A and B are shown apart, each in its own frame.
Chain A
Amino acid sequence: MGDHMGSPLLMNRRNFIQLSGMGIGGIMLPGIPVSGRPVAPEALLETGLDVAVKKRLADAALNAAKAKGATYADIRIGRYLNQYVVTREDKVQNIVNTESYGVGVRVIVNGCWGFAAVVDAKNETQTARAAEEAVAIAKANAKLMTQPVQLAPQKGFGEVSWKAPITKNAFEVPIKEKVDLLLSVNDAAMKNGANYVNSVLFMVNEQKYFASTDGSYIDQDIHRIWPTFGVTCIDPKSGKFETRQALSAPMGMGYEYLQANPSDKVTGVTTRYNKGYDMLEDAIAGAKQAKEKLTAKSVEAGKYDLVLDPSHLWLTIHESVGHPLELDRVLGYEANFAGTSFATLDKWQSKTFNYGSKQVNLFADKTQNGSLGAVGWDDEGVQTKQWDLVKDGTLVNYQAIRDQVHIIGEKESQGCCYADSWSSVQFQRMANVSLAAGKTPLSVEEMIKDVKKGIYIIGDGSFSIDQQRYNFQFGGQLYYEIKDGKIAGMLKDVAYQSNTQEFWNSCAQVCDQRDYRLGGSFFDGKGQPMQVSAVSHGSATARFNGVNVINTARKI
């Protein structure tokens, strides 16, 4: 279908798996928003520019911007590396290595932003020219502007660095080892009843250098990994098919995520994973469960108490808390694409808006170890931190960056500014937004014991929410009926519908810190032209009372 662009908002994982299975013909996985040019795998191990060189390039740009009248300037020198390995059944479909290097300069002149980027800039003349172009654009745009930018002050940090605390750089693992892993995963799935299986290993390294006229020179090294698969089982007699996607999470980790220790596994009705993922074990379970789904009981529509695993709840948090509390949406900057928000400023100002029940504490952060959002400083030189969004059920804050925080009376940015490439301009992006674990000791077993008529949902599935984030519908991967405190068997055709405030107010219990885990996405979309961002959401298993469940089976 020609130039198929990504769908707005969060990318559908089923589509991702389908697209990545499209074969060797295209060099890029169509629809996958990844920039960069394909390179040899060894190129991903080469070190980037030396910090001293980057500082020289940065100073040239900052000085050029100031000389041309900029009151503020920042530069991002970025090298972005990606590698994916794509397989189906016993075949390697694609191995892609990409690298992208360039420089983006942002300035304020006459109270107005300007931005320019240049590919492959490796000398001072090039970075200075980009700065001058950014100044020219700012001057032109200033004529259309009515409200000058109000930038929250930010102290400079001097020459500092941050490195993701990984123990095994995934790019150093030979491709053969990765291919062998995926093919063994596929083989195990097929031997355990799968008719088809696709598996993908996706690795990202962002090497980012930021400098600004505030006096910061920040060098950062960020790693992300996402192993995932999808199995399909078919009942030839009925012609029905069922799928089961991996219960892994994309993580801000190295290859160590694929080396699971017993302590990383959460046992129960099915094994779930914390900071170590056993892909082989999950594929075996996945194949058996996809088969079991074929004959599982179709859910009876009605009200149920839902027990939601972190592998599922992350997506509900993302859509119903993360997005509505982005200040640019609240203000209307995303009205034509990602939407606006029900969580208007008056609700926040009232200090009494019940976002959820007293059990609900939601916080934003860019610091959680192993999360996709974790960095030392954001893309405008603000040191990252953690802050409350919903405290004991009440809305208390938003997510905002340097040119927005004055609107919510904050003196400094919350540090959640991000650009997906050196070539795109940084803007407010979702921090990790997580549900705090319950303070009272409570295990999943204890939680289930008290549920009379409920459904236990594991894994994320179909998702949809309106443009102001009121009405939503979510599915999952695995559904188990809870009857009188016991798991009574597998269900299928389940989706729940609710509205954000009603849903979070129906939150009755949250398990304690022992059950706290991260989920997340590589592909959160926002802006026009669209930029993607990777974000994690943590929670422990939580219970929501009396939620409306629909049956999704149809005949065609």
Chain B
Amino acid sequence: MSTILTEAEAKALLKKVLSYSKADECEANLSGDERGNIRYARNEVSTSGSLINQNLQVQSAFGKKVGIATIDEFDEASLEKVVRRSEELARLAPENPEYVGLLGPQTYLKANGYFESTASITPAKRAEAVGKSLEMCRGISQAKLTAAGFEEDYKGYSAMMNSKGLFAYYPSTNINFSLTVRTEDGKGSGYVIRGYSDFAKFDPAASTRIAIQKCIGSVGAKALEPGKYTVILEPTAVAVLLERVFFDMDARSADEGRSFMSKPGGKTKLGEKIVDERVTIYSDPTHPELPASPWSGDGQPQGKVNWIEKGVVKNLSYSRYWAQKQGKKPLPGPNNVIMNGGTMSLEDMIKSTQRGILVTKLWYIRDVDPQTLLLTGLTRDGTFYIENGKIKHPIKNFRFNESPVIMLNNLDALGKPERVVSTESNQNYLLPPMKIREFTFSSLSDAV
């Protein structure tokens, strides 16, 4: 049998698994994937690899006593063994007061995240894409350049079935590509990162050109005084700041008083305007540019959900346990995140800027204070001074201390959203470039 099961094959296998169950409730999660990668550094391919994985996880429950076991072999004896093992573990487990039982059958939206173009990538195709990129970096006449990059692709599926009749299946593909180009003397550095569900959309030459241009353009950086500046954040920089907001949309921690969504007296900011009214952030598994699984890990349907609408917190995610306890409707956390933008291109945004800083990428983002979401990190791989609508010259990198919540209140303009990859979490998002007033840079860095 192949690693990537069809919906019918997955259904048949899961039915067989559940037929062995003697527990009060049983849920089985099945997955299979194939991954490949190629890495290069110092203008040469350094490593390449591939990984095939399949896994079956069975959860059995007797009352509120729950046990989980997994196995990666799918012959009949193994299937029965993993069910028995989960039942043994359940009998031994302490009661889990937060176990709320299984969901019945659900209806899911149709999301198309599986692309044959990506599924059929071979080592040769990978090498060809990377070869093109390497050739371009080696062949630049203005400067001696050194390229280091990484391409990784994924095809796989996940499926689940439970003893109450729920069945879900979702196949998907993805490819992420990143490239750092540096001048041989270490005075310039440029970066690009791209993520796609559909390999056909990946243009290694166009991506490589961006990193080369950023690299050459960043040579000869001048120091600017740290302070508050108008910044244009490219989507790659936006992603690592905004995802801290996405990660903290959980109602429980807000209700408990330990999130930036908490308010004095055990209240939360649900229903309040917390950022500029042009900010609308939502999730939608059917979005063609960023398809995602239409069901959550526990089988709940994922629909289109507005998390922040016109600056107002519209929804917080409730686990089924927390929803029951608080008398609310459960709402799973998002499987993808999309932010509305405008129609301006990055070039238009630069043209409309009197004095400001263009930020290509932000690096080593860490929480400084979870109650304000104050973050720190640094600019890198292409930071430029803008004057009178034009990029004037490269500038030395800065450390920043800024909260995405404050930042989204100092919003000047939003550009056209595009698909980006977080350099911190590897997640793909659909986010616009943005112009922000009074972004706080606190010190200079000598790093290139």
Contacts and interface: CB of A to CB of B under 8 A. Distances in A.
Contact of B263 (A147, A239, A243): A239
A475 B446 contact: no
A196 B364 contact: no
B354 interface: no
B265 A236 contact: yes
A137 B48 CA distance: 9
Contacts of A555: 372
Given A2-B292, A7-B425, A464 B365 contact: yes
Contacts of A24: 66, 68, 96, 98-99
A468 B69 CA distance: 44
Contacts of B444: 471
Interface string B65-104: 0101111100000000000010011000110111100000
A497 B335 CA distance: 36
A349 B151 CA distance: 35
Given A234-B258, A239-B262, A556 B372 contact: yes
Nearest to A14: B367
Nearest to A116: B49
B48 A141 contact: yes
Interface in A236-267: 236-241, 243
A37 B93 CA distance: 19
B221 interface: no
The CB with the most chain A CB atoms within 10 A, among B149, B368, B446, is that of B368
Contacts of A27: 57, 68, 70
Interface stretch (B8-16, B176-184, B304-312, B386-394): B176-184
A470 B447 CA distance: 6
B345 interface: no
The CB with the most chain A CB atoms within 10 A, among B49, B298, B321, is that of B49
A526 B365 CA distance: 16
Interface in A500-530: 528-529
A145 interface: yes
- Overall SS of chain A's interface: loop
B152 interface: yes
A409 interface: no
Interface string A416-441: 00000001010000000000000000
Interface stretch (B35-43, B114-122, B198-206, B227-235): B35-43
B319 interface: yes
B208 interface: no
Contacts of B51: 423
Interface residues of B, number: 93
A137 B426 CA distance: 28
A144 interface: yes
B298 A25 contact: yes
B62 interface: no
Interface stretch (B17-25, B400-408, B412-420, B431-439): B400-408
B399 A23 contact: no
A495 B368 contact: yes
Interface string A468-504: 1111010100000000000000000101010100000
A87 B296 CA distance: 24
Contact of A241 (B49, B146, B258): B258
Contacts of A137: 48
Contacts of B37: 528-529
A1 B335 contact: yes
Interface string A12-31: 10100000000111110000
A529 B371 contact: no
A236 B266 contact: yes
A268 B397 CA distance: 40
B340 interface: no
B442 A335 contact: no
Contacts of A196: 256, 258
A38 B256 CA distance: 32
B427 interface: yes
Contact of B445 (A91, A239, A466, A554): A466
A467 interface: yes
Contacts of A337: 150
A546 interface: no
Given A23-B98, A25-B298, A529 B372 contact: no
A336 interface: yes
The CB with the most chain B CB atoms within 10 A, among A236, A464, A495, A552, is that of A464
B277 interface: no
Interface in B24-68: 37, 39, 41-42, 44-49, 51, 57, 66, 68
Interface in B364-391: 364-374, 376-378, 380
Contacts of B366: 12, 462-464
Nearest to B372: A554
Contact of B368 (A236, A241, A552): A552
A37 B372 contact: no
A333 interface: yes
A234 B257 contact: yes
Given A237-B264, A241-B371, 14 more contacts: A1-B335, A1-B425, A2-B335, A4-B425, A7-B424, A196-B256, A234-B258, A239-B262, A332-B42, A335-B148, A466-B447, A467-B378, A473-B401, A495-B376
8 contacts: A8-B423, A92-B94, A141-B48, A195-B256, A243-B370, A344-B186, A464-B366, A473-B399
Interface of A: 1-2, 4-5, 7-9, 12, 14, 23-27, 37-38, 40, 91-92, 95, 115, 137, 141, 144-147, 179, 195-196, 232, 234, 236-241, 243, 331-337, 339-340, 342, 344, 423, 425, 462-471, 473, 475, 493, 495, 497, 499, 528-529, 548, 550, 552-556
